[in-house]
Structure 1
Amino acid sequence: MKFPIPYRPASFVKSLIGLLLVGIFIAVGCSEVIELEDNTVGGQVIIYGRISNSTQANEVVISRAGEASTAPLPIEGAIVKIVDDTGLEEFLVEDAPGHYTLGRNVLSGQFGRSYRLEADIEGSIYTTDFQELLPVLSQDEMRYEIGVERDITSSGATVTDDVVRLFVDSDLPDDLPDQFFMRWEIEEVYSVLTGFFPTFWFPRSAPPQKQCYVTHKLGADEIFLLDGRDIRRSDLKNRELITRVIDRSFQNKHYFNLIQSRVSEENFEYWEKVRTLTITNGSIFDQVVGPLKGNVKSDDPGEEVFGFFEVIGIDTTRLLMTNNDIPVFFRDPCVFQGDLVLPLLTVPFDCFECLLQRKIIDPQCAFCEAVPNNGPRPSYF
C-alpha cells in the first residue's frame, strides 16, 4: 500500500505575469533547473528556523554540512534561545537530534515585536539581527474543480487521471505599504485507516484499527513569492495553484492548507536564491543542495555559516474535501473482505507477525508509524 502525492505545477504564473515573482523553480519538461555548484568541503554549520504568530513551526534545525552534496549531520546539545526587543528570552528544547522547539512559555510571536536568534554550539556563538514580525496583508479564499487529465505515454497509449485543480482568490487592502513581500506555501493533511483483521483468527496479536494523520508539506517548487513593489492591485483573482491526482487519500477528510507569510525583504531575497537550487520535496527545513548563506552570523568573522532564521506573520486558509466531493470509487487495500481474507488465514493461528514476515500485508495497513509523514492529530480534525 502506498500513498502517492502526485502534483503538477499549474498556471499560477499566467494570471500574474509581470506582477508576481513566483517561486516555482521547476516544472517537469518545461524549465531548466539551475543548480548552484557545490564544492562544500564540509563542517559548516547550517541553521534553519523561524518564529511566527502561529502556535506551529516555531523551531530551529541545526546541522553540520558534509562534503559536497552529502546529507548534513544533526548537531545535538546546542543551547538555543530566541530574544525579543524587550529583553525577554526563551530557550528552545531539543525534542529530536538537531531539532529545537520553542515552547512559547515565556515569549511568543506578536505583530510589531522584533526577535533574534542566538545559538551556542560547542562554545561558538551564532546570532541574527532583530527582525520585526509584520502582520499579514491578504485575505485568501480557496476553491476547487474536479476534472480529467489525459497524458500520452512513450508507447503512445492514452492515460487518464481524475484530478483536483486548486484555485485561490487573494484580497489585499487598498492602503498597501510602499513595499511589502509575501510568500505562499501549500500543504495537505488527510487521514487514513489501518486495516481491521479478523478477530476469530487473530484474537490477541493483531493491533486495533487506528486512524492515521498524514501531513505532506510541499517543497520549494510549490512556494510562491510576491514582491509588493511590483504590484498596486488590491485583488489577485482565480490563481490556479496546483493540480492533484485523485487517490485514496481523499477517502476520508482531506485538507488543503494555504499558508500565507508576510516576510522581510532579506527573507524574500533568500527565497529568491532558493529558487535556483534543487531542494528535496518537503518542508522549508529540508536542506538545500549547495551552499547558501543567509542571515546567521558567527562570532568568528571568518567562519562560513549557511541557513536562515525568519520572523514571519502567518495566516492559514483551509479547504476541506471529503469522499462526498469526489466522484471516484476507491479500493482500499487495507480493507480485508471477501477474497482478501483468505491469505490472512494461511499463517498459524494468532500469529500476526507472520503476516509481516511473509509480506502478506503491508506494514502501513497495521501501524500508523509505518505510514509516511504520519503525525499527531491536527487540532482542526
Structure 2
Amino acid sequence: MNKLKFLFSLVLLLLSFNSCVDQITFPLDKGVAKLVVSGQISNLDEDQYVFISETTSEDREPLYTGQYYVLNDLPRPVTSAMVYLVNDREEKVLLNMSEDGKYTLDRSYKLEDGVYYHIEILVSGNEYRTDPQKMPDAVGEDELTYEFQRGEFKGSPEIAFISIYSETKLPETDDSYYLRWDVDEAYYWDLTFFPNPFNNPPPDCYVFGFPDPERITLFNGENVDSEQESSVQLVAERKVDESFLSRHYFNVRQVSTSKDSYEYWRKVRELVNNSGSVFDSPPAPIKGNIYNAQSPDEVVLGYFEIARVSQSRIYTVPGDVSFVVEAVCTYDPARPIDDYPKTCLRCSEFPSSTNNTPHWWFDQ
C-alpha cells in the first residue's frame, strides 16, 4: 500500500508573515473530485487562514506551470469561494482571498472567550459549514531544548540529526484538555556572493518549511493525575544539512483544541504511521468536520478548528553544530555559474521564502 500515492494539503502551522501548508497523504478515488478545507483560527495576534482546494479528477485539464503543462494528483486551489467566519450571534466576517485557494482573516479580528464560531463556504452553488466551536479556556507553556546526535535516522544509519524537545507546563485547569504540537522552521540562507564592481552582496534570504512533517504529537489530558504539572515531548527531528550554516529557528506551537479535533488528528497519525502491506484494505479518507449543508452525504476532506495557542521558539547557530557541514554555495572563481545549485543563485527557488526579515527574528 503506497501512502504517497495521493496528497491533500492540511494546515499545521501558519507563520505570521506568510503561510506554509504541510502535506499529509491520503488514498483517494480518482475520478471523483472532493473539496478539501483546512485551517485554524486562534488567539494569536497574526493573520489567520483557511485553505480550500479540490482533489484531482480524471477529466481535469493539465495544469500550466508557467512554462509547460503537467498532469499530477495534487489538489488544485479553489479561487471562486466566499468564506465567512460566523459567531453565535450570526455576525459574519468575510475572509479575503490573498492567494489562490488561501483565504485570510485579518489579524485585527480577535476571538472572544465563550463564543462559538463556525465557517461558512459558498462555492459552485453549494454551502459548506463546520460545526460550532469555542476557543478552549486553557493552554500550557513550552520550554524548548535541542540535542544534536548521530545515529539511525528514518531508516538510514550514521546520519547527523537534531531533536527538538519540549518540557511542557500543562494547562492549569480542572477540565479535560487536548493538546497538539505543530512545528515549523525558518532559517537564513547564504546566497552565493559573486564579485561585482560595486561589491553589493546578494539579498537576504529566509526560508520556511516543516522539519518533521509526518510527526503528529498529541497529548490527552482527560486522565492526567491532578498532581502532574509537566510532561516531556519530542516534537520534531530533522537531518542536519547546510541550512544549519546560519541561524536556524524552530517555531513550536502548542495547540489546545477540542476532543473532536484531537480524535481527528489521532486518526491521521494512525494512517500516516501505518505502513501497511499488499494484503491490507485501503483505509477510507478520514471524515473531518466540514459538510455540505444541502447534501450531507457528500465527502468533504480536511478539518477546521478554533484553538487557543501558545508559541515558543528556539534557534541554533553554526557554533552549536558538532558536525562538519559542507557549504554548497561558497564562491569559487574556477566554478562555472551553472555548476551552482539554483538555490545558491535565487532565494525564490525555495518553495516558501522571502527577502524580508521576519519581525521576530532578533527577539531572542
Q: TM-score, normalised by structure 2?
A: 0.76
Residues 1:74 and 1:242: Cα distance change in structure 2 (over 3 Å):
closer
Residues 1:371 and 1:303: Cα distance change in structure 2 (over 3 Å):
closer
Aligned match of 1:61: 51
Shift of 1:43: 2.2
Q: Is the 8 A contact 2:242 2:328 kept in 1?
A: no
Q: Does 1:187 align with 2:190?
A: no
Deviations 1:39-62 (A, max 9, x none): 354122221122111234621111
Deviations 1:170-194 (A, max 9, x none): 11245431x2111112222111121
Aligned match of 1:119: 121
Aligned residue among 283, 296, 305 for 1:310? 305
Aligned match of 2:134: 132
Aligned match of 1:367: 346
Q: For 2:162, give the aligned amino acid.
A: V
Residues 1:219 and 1:45: Cα distance change in structure 2 (over 3 Å):
farther
Superposition pairs of residues 333-344 of structure 1, within 5 angstroms: 333-336=328-331, 340-344=332-336
Aligned residue among 84, 90, 94 for 2:93? 90
1: CA distance between counterparts of 2:100 and 2:35?
15
Q: Does 1:215 align with 2:215?
A: no
2: CA distance between counterparts of 1:361 and 1:136?
50
Shift of 1:150: 6.0
Aligned residue among 314, 327, 334 for 1:332? 327
Residues 1:162 and 1:220: Cα distance change in structure 2 (over 3 Å):
closer
Q: Percent identity?
A: 26
2: CA distance between counterparts of 1:378 and 1:263?
27
Q: Is the 8 A contact 1:270 1:294 kept in 2?
A: yes
Q: Is the 8 A contact 2:46 2:106 kept in 1?
A: no
Gaps of 5+ in 1: 1-34, 280-288, 345-354
1: CA distance between counterparts of 2:179 and 2:47?
17
Residues 1:150 and 1:41: Cα distance change in structure 2 (over 3 Å):
closer
Q: For 1:327, give the aligned amino acid.
A: S
Runs of 4+ in structure 1 deviating by more than 4 angstroms, as ranges, are: none
2: CA distance between counterparts of 1:303 and 1:243?
37
Aligned match of 2:358: 378
Aligned match of 2:193: 196
2: CA distance between counterparts of 1:210 and 1:303?
48
Q: Is the 8 A contact 2:139 2:310 kept in 1?
A: no
- Greater relative contact order structure (CA < 8 Å, 6+ sep): 1
Q: For 2:91, give the aligned amino acid.
A: L
Aligned match of 1:350: none
Shift of 1:36: 6.7
Aligned match of 1:16: none
Deviations 1:314-355 (A, max 9, x none): 11111121122223444322221xxx21234xxxxxxxxxx3
Q: Is the 8 A contact 2:46 2:107 kept in 1?
A: no
266-275 vs 238-247, which moves further = 238-247
Deviations 1:141-197 (A, max 9, x none): 01123333268x99xxxx6444333222111245431x2111112222111121111
Q: For 1:322, give the aligned amino acid.
A: V
SS of the residue 1:277 aligns to = helix
Count of matched residue positions in the alignment of Structure 1 and Structure 2: 311
2: CA distance between counterparts of 1:207 and 1:40?
51
CA RMSD of aligned residues (A): 2.9
Superposition pairs of residues 230-309 of structure 1, within 5 angstroms: 230-232=223-225, 233-278=227-272, 291-301=285-295, 302-309=297-304
1: CA distance between counterparts of 2:112 and 2:210?
24
Residues 1:49 and 1:57: Cα distance change in structure 2 (over 3 Å):
farther
Shift of 1:255: 1.2
SS of the residue 2:310 aligns to = strand
Q: Is the 8 A contact 1:181 1:268 kept in 2?
A: yes
1: CA distance between counterparts of 2:305 and 2:98?
20
